[in-house]
C-alpha cells in the first residue's frame, strides 16, 4: 500500500518527465532550423521592402500634391502676365513665374527620383518573391517531416498525461494543491529525496524530530526550501 507521499513522489517523476518531453517537442531539429531561419529572414526582408515601397509612395503622393499646386500657381501668374499695365508689373510677374518654375522643376526632379527608387525596391521585392514559392515549399516539407517524426514523443506525452491524471485522482486535494504550489515556486520540483538526513533540493539538514516523522511515512516539508521530503529508499 503506497502512502500519499509515495504517490506524490510518483507524481513528481511523471511531471518531470512530462515537462522534459514537452520541451523536446519544441526543439527544432537542425534539418528544420536552417530552412526556418532562411524562411523567417526572407519574410522579414520582404516586409521591409514592402514598407519601404509604401513609404516612398506616401512621400510621392505628397510631392505630387505640391507639384499640382505649384503648376496651378504658375498658370495663374502666366495669366497675370497678360494683364500687366507697365514695365514694373511685368518685371514683378516675371519674377514670380521664374521662381515658381524653379520650384516646379525641383518637384518634378524629386518625383523622378522617387520613381527610380520605387523601381529599384520593386525589383528587389520581385526577386525575393520569385524565389519565395520554392523556399516556402522547402520550409513546409521540412516542417511536416519534423512534425511527423514527433509521433512517438506525442504518444509518450499523452500516456504521461493519463498517468498524471490517474495519480492525481488518488490524492487528497489539499496535498495536490500543496504539491502544485511548491512546484510553481521551485522550478517544477515539489518533492525531493533526502540523503543522510539532508534535503537534496537545498542541502538543509533535517532536524531529528522531522526525520522521525519522515521515517513514519508522514508528510514533512523541508525547512530550507519548503519542498516535500521523500525518504531515500536505501534508508527505509
Ligand atoms: Zn530543501
CATH of the domain at 88: 1.10.287
Q: Does 105 share its domain with 60?
A: yes
Other beta carbons within 10 Å of 212 = 12
Which residues in the chain land under pLDDT 70? 1, 234-236
* CA–centroid distance, residue 208 to ligand 1 (Å): 15
Would 165 be classed as within a structural domain?
Answer: no
Q: Is 47 contained in some domain?
A: yes
> Could you tell me the residue range of the domain that residue 137 belongs to?
30-148
pTM of the predicted protein model: 0.64
Residue 234: the pLDDT is 61
CA of 194 to the centre of ligand 1 (A): 9
71 in the same domain as 36: yes
Ligand 1 mean position, distance from CA 117 (Å): 66
Q: How many domains is the chain partitioned into structurally?
A: 2
Distance between CA atoms of residues 103 and 147, nearest Å: 62
Assess if residue 166 is contained within a domain: no
Cell triple for residue 93? 510677374
CB atoms within 10 A of CB 98: 11
Whether 226 and 132 share a structural domain: no
Other residues' Cβ atoms within 10 Å of the Cβ of residue 137? 10
Amino acid 236: pLDDT? 44
* Residue at 154 is within a domain: no
3-state secondary structure the chain: CCCHHHHHHHHHHHHHHHHHHHHHHCCCCHHHHHHHHHHHHHHHHHHHHHHHHHHHHHHHHHHHHHHHHHHHHHHHHHHHHHCCCCHHHHHHHHHHHHHHHHHHHHHHHHHHHHHHHHHHHHHHHHHHHHHHHHHHHHHHHHHHHHHHCCHHHHHHHHHHHHHHHHHHHCCCHHHHHHHHHHHHHCCCCCEEEEECCEECCCCCECCHHHHHHHHCCCCCECCCCCCEEECCHHHC
Note whether 141 and 187 are same-domain residues. no
Q: 218 CA distance to ligand 1 centroid (A)?
A: 16
CA of 222 to the centre of ligand 1 (A): 5
> What pLDDT is attached to residue 235?
46
Q: Give a yes or no: residue 219 inside a domain.
A: yes
Q: How far is the CA of 13 from the centre of ligand 1 (A)?
A: 18
Interval between CA 226 and ligand 1 midpoint (Å) = 6
Q: Separation of 18 CA from ligand 1 center, angstroms?
A: 23
First and final CA of the chain: distance in angstroms?
15
Q: Give pLDDT tens digits for 48-65.
A: 999 999 999 999 999 999
How many angstroms is it from 171 CA to the middle of ligand 1? Answer: 23
- Write out pLDDT tens, residues 80-93: 888 889 999 999 99
Q: Is residue 223 part of a domain?
A: yes
Amino acid at each position: 500500500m503506497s502512502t500519499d507521499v509515495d504517490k506524490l513522489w510518483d507524481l513528481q517523476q511523471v511531471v518531470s518527465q512530462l515537462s522534459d518531453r514537452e520541451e523536446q517537442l519544441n526543439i527544432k531539429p537542425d534539418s528544420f532550423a536552417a530552412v526556418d531561419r532562411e524562411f523567417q529572414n526572407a519574410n522579414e526582408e520582404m516586409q521591409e521592402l514592402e514598407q519601404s515601397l509604401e513609404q516612398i509612395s506616401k512621400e510621392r503622393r505628397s510631392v505630387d500634391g505640391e507639384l499640382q499646386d505649384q503648376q496651378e500657381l504658375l498658370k495663374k501668374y502666366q495669366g497675370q502676365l497678360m494683364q500687366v499695365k507697365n514695365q514694373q508689373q511685368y518685371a514683378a510677374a516675371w519674377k514670380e513665374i521664374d521662381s515658381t518654375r524653379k520650384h516646379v522643376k525641383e518637384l518634378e526632379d524629386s518625383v523622378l527620383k522617387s520613381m527610380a527608387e520605387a523601381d529599384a525596391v520593386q525589383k528587389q521585392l520581385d526577386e525575393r518573391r520569385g524565389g519565395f514559392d520554392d523556399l516556402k515549399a522547402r520550409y513546409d516539407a521540412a516542417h511536416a517531416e519534423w512534425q511527423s517524426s514527433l509521433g512517438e514523443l506525442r504518444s509518450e506525452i499523452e500516456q504521461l498525461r493519463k498517468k498524471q491524471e490517474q495519480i492525481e485522482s488518488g490524492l487528497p486535494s489539499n496535498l495536490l494543491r500543496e504539491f502544485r504550489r511548491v512546484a510553481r515556486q521551485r522550478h517544477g520540483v515539489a518533492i525531493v529525496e533526502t540523503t543522510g538526513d539532508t534535503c537534496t533540493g537545498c542541502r538543509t539538514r533535517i532536524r531529528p524530530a522531522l526525520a522521525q516523522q519522515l521515517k513514519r511515512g508522514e508528510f514533512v516539508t523541508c525547512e530550507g526550501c519548503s519542498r516535500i521530503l521523500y525518504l531515500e529508499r536505501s534508508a527505509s
